[in-house]
Structure 1
Amino acid sequence: MDTLLLKIHDMILATRQQWIGEITYSHNIKGDHTWKLYGYHSYAEYKNDLLKSLKQ
């Protein structure tokens, strides 16, 4: 069961990373603390995923 939950968690994180650039720039949903609303633990983690998303 733990393995299944870990796989689901990893898939959610991968999906969030793929869509964060689309959400932030294409739909212009950005602000000072939106990274918290997206479920990130730090601004640096959000910025890293955003950069990866924009490169794709």
Structure 2
Amino acid sequence: MEYIKTKRYFLSELERESYENCILNNHPELKRDFILQMDDEELLERLNIK
């Protein structure tokens, strides 16, 4: 799950969209709006990845 370790604010818009789509594909219970509102730390905590 290397993609999770990437900080979203370093990504281009297209890369960020791919990153978020990858998360949604692997964790369909999370909604896109919810993911967009979380910062990286919250997202990692929610996915139980440290």
TM-score computed with the length of structure 1 as normaliser: 0.28
Q: Select the structure that is richer in helix.
A: 1
Q: Highest CA radius of gyration, 1 or 2?
A: 1
TM-score computed with the length of structure 2 as normaliser: 0.29
Return the structure number with greater relative CO, CA threshold 8 A, min gap 6: 1
